[in-house]
Amino acid sequence: MKHYSFIDGLRALAILPVVFFHFNVAHMTGGYVGVDVFFVLSGFLITGLIERQIELGQFSIVGFYERRCRRILPPLFATCFFSVIAAYFLFMPHDYLQFSRVLGGMSFFGSNFILARWTGYFAHPDSSKPLLHTWSLAVEEQFYVFFPLLLVFLSKAFKNRIAATRTAVYLLFGVSFGLSIAFLHGSPAKTFYLLHTRAWELLAGAILALHLKHVKLSRPVAEAISVFGLVTILLCVFLYNRNTPFPGPAALPPCVATVFLLWANIDCDTFVKKILESKPAAGIGLISYGLYLYHWPLLAFTHYYLNHAPSPLLAAGLISLAFVLSIFSYFYIEQPIRARRVLKKNTLFVLSGAGLVAFGLVALVGVHTRGLPQRFDQAVLRYASAKDYGGNVHVPTECAATGKKDLQGVEICKFGASTSAHPDFLLWGDSHAGALSSAVEVGARQYKLTGWSIVKSGCPSLIGAARADGFADYSCPDIARAVLNIIRRNHIHTVLLVTRWDMYALGWEKGSDETTREPFISYRTKGGKRLLRGQAFAAAFMATAQKLQAMGVTVWVVKQVPPQLVYVSSALARAAYFGRNPKKLQRSYAAIITRRRFIDQVMNVAAKQYPLHFIDPVNIFCPQHKTCLISADGQSLYTDNTHLSVFGALWSRQMLDPFFKTLH
């Protein structure tokens, strides 16, 4: 197949935004669209190659996969090999377990399925996922398991092979794009990672190779759409961000732009083509695959070791190192194997299979041992196992889904002195309420009270507060209305509200390890005006206080547990392992108060109008109002950066005593 030198420059246009996005360089907040450019490129090149060979009667499935092995596996094996070594020496058991799961998925080109079960591409701690970027390789390889077979089948089953192939590709494109739109809000992680919602991007390249390529463009049209394509990709790179619902419709502009760039420059020497064919651009394009593979583990492991993102100077050094490794890889690994100067076909297949099996076995050991905890002493493991430590407390709880649509399948849990008795109080909130529930349950038993709890992760205990961050897989306002009905029907007179208030009002804190799309809220006033973030929180909190007070409910509000900038349990374990001072991870009381100042102002204004009662965790976690504790008795008080561990919840349960004493 003819080599188009400008495509190397287009690869550079794809890889640089990805690298700079990951390293937070040059404000390329939408740099992740570079992967979509790669998908279109791959679909165009591979489809064109297969179609040409079918036309000449030379296509071979074995030959096709030989080329894929030579192209994909050698640098990927190098990446996985060094990642395994680094993870073994750096990763805490929980993180090594997750790493092993992704490694195992990669062994079968299914890492995207493993990652889709987590919170998404933008989710933290991405520093503990050095193989996160293999999801795109998995999508491509899954696509090329089926697509060549489809093309071969159509060529043999239909006399008019070209028409049948084009029709099939257009239909598949439409179905895949439709699924990408349909599932974007309900299943954002799966839509991002999985083949059926990403195939349309590769098929866009296939449409170009099968159809549009044969439609000749005039020079002025080629110049125009070439500039349009370049500008569109750059606009997406700089205007998109982590909060942009993606892929879905937002992925269409960069994909169409890539098609235009390819289409315009196949037969015409445009101004943009000269830029893409320049030596710097073409050179970066040649090493783009290695650069994609190597830059991310370098960043992830460095971030993990430091407990924070690298400084600008260190980031520049890591990017430079990634370039050096990519150049070395291109000349001494990729080119010799792709040019068949080494490794005959049979040897290549044997070594490829052996490598995949070997990495699969390494992954199996990591999963089977739950992260190889034998590598660490007990001091490290006590911190690292914060999620598993239950304090030897058995709390009898009965939970059951309501079966009603109003609560969206959320369970009502009953606990305390008697799960069959009328509830003395209701615990209502998001995952922070779930994290504190063990302390609430123990307190209820101690004071011989019966409690119910309704907990929905990602939904604040606020009436009318809707998620406005693109995650609409459930309706928080509907759940809030259902909670009010439950309070009313069951004559519940006391409610304990526990929520991560600052997240919904302010988004992520600057400097925090959290990198997901910001989960802020919206609120519609009676007049129909839509409020966002802080304004939405203020209006929703006031409405919640007013509504509950009108129902005769006594409202207790747990102010937020001091938020941390790092994932505490893992950071403490690493501090113990590397001989660092764990106190350096603590935050000052002043920093905590600064973060929550707006939240406190809103709550204080509401308390002047309605009889609210407050429980403030800082009085326990920040003794003498200096620094705030993150550990006690050699154990982590947190599972991550904001959620209490079971140990932390039980350790701090005395702060709930005023609440229980009023009910006792």
Domain map of the chain by residue range?
5-371, 394-566+589-626+643-663
pLDDT at 98: 92
Nearest to 128 by CA among 567, 508, 644, 565: 567
Hey, what amino acid is at 653?
Answer: R
Number of H-type helices and E-type strands within the chain: 28, 12
In the predicted structure, residue 387 carries a pLDDT above the cut 80: no
For the ranges 170-179, 305-314, 500-509, the one whose mean pLDDT is highest: 170-179
Per-residue pLDDT band at 317 (split at 50, 70, 90): very high
Verify cis geometry, omega within 30 degrees of 0, for the bond prior to 658. Answer: no
What pTM, to 2 d.p., does this model score? 0.88
Q: Which pLDDT score is estimated for 247?
A: 93
Quick check: 517 and 122 in contact, CB under 8 A?
Answer: yes
Indicate if the pLDDT at residue 168 is higher than 60: yes
Output the six-digit token pair for 238: 């700089």
At 393 the pLDDT is 46
Q: What is the distance, to the nearest Å, from the Cα of residue 126 to the centroid of all Cα atoms in its chain?
A: 7
**DSSP per position, 326-345:** HHHHIIIIIHHHHTTSS--H
Token duo for residue 146: 């089926």
Residue with tokens 């979509």: 36
Both structure tokens of 527:
């007049």
Percent of the chain with pLDDT over 70: 93
pLDDT at 390: 44
| Lowest mean pLDDT, pick from 338-347, 386-395, 428-437, 580-589 | 386-395
- Mean pLDDT for all residues in the chain: 90
What is each CA distance from 248 to 17, 22, 190, 637, in whole angstroms? 20, 21, 12, 39
CA 604/CA 536 separation, integer angstroms: 16
C-alpha torsion sign, points 641, 647, 650, 654: negative
553 Cβ partners below 8 Å, 6+ apart? 487, 492, 493, 494, 495
Where does the pLDDT of residue 509 fall: very low under 50, low under 70, confident under 90, or very high at 90 and above?
confident
In this structure, which amino acid lies at residue 258?
A: T
Rounded to 5°, angle at Cα 58 from 55 and 64: 110
**Cα 129 vs. chain centroid, distance in angstroms?**
10
Q: What is the mean pLDDT of residues 471-475?
A: 56
Euclidean distance between CA atoms 246 and 236, whole angstroms: 12
Cα gap 123→304, rounded to integer Å? 15
**DSSP summary character for residue 319:** H
Task: Say yes or no to pLDDT of 16 above 80.
Answer: yes
Query: Which tens digit of pLDDT belongs to each residue from 73-99?
Result: 999 999 999 999 999 999 999 999 999
Tens of pLDDT, residues 256-308: 999 999 999 998 999 999 999 999 999 999 999 999 999 999 999 999 999 88
Q: Is 108 helix (H, G, I), strand (E, B) or coil?
A: coil
- What's the pLDDT at 508? 82
Could you report how far apart the first and last alpha carbons of the chain are, in Å?
81
Residue 468 scores a pLDDT above 90? no
pLDDT of residue 403: 47
Q: Residue 134 in contact with residue 102, Cβ under 8 Å? A: yes
Q: In one letter, which amino acid is 157?
A: A
Closest alpha carbon to 585 in 603, 600, 564: 564
Contact 634, 382 (CB under 8 A): yes
Cα 558 to the chain's mean position, in Å? 29
Average pLDDT over residues 113-140: 80
Least confident of 398-407, 494-503, 579-588: 398-407
**Residues 30 and 240 sit within 8 Å (Cβ to Cβ):** yes
Burial pattern 423-458, b for ≥16 Cβ within 10 A else e, equals: bbbbbbbbbbbbbbbbbbbbbbbebebbbbbbbbeb
Encoded tokens for 382: 């006590």
The reported pLDDT for the residue numbered 515 is 61
Determine which helix (DSSP H) or strand (DSSP E) holds 454, and give its type and residue range: strand 450-455
Considering the domain 394-566+589-626+643-663 in this protein, what is its CATH number?
3.40.50.1110
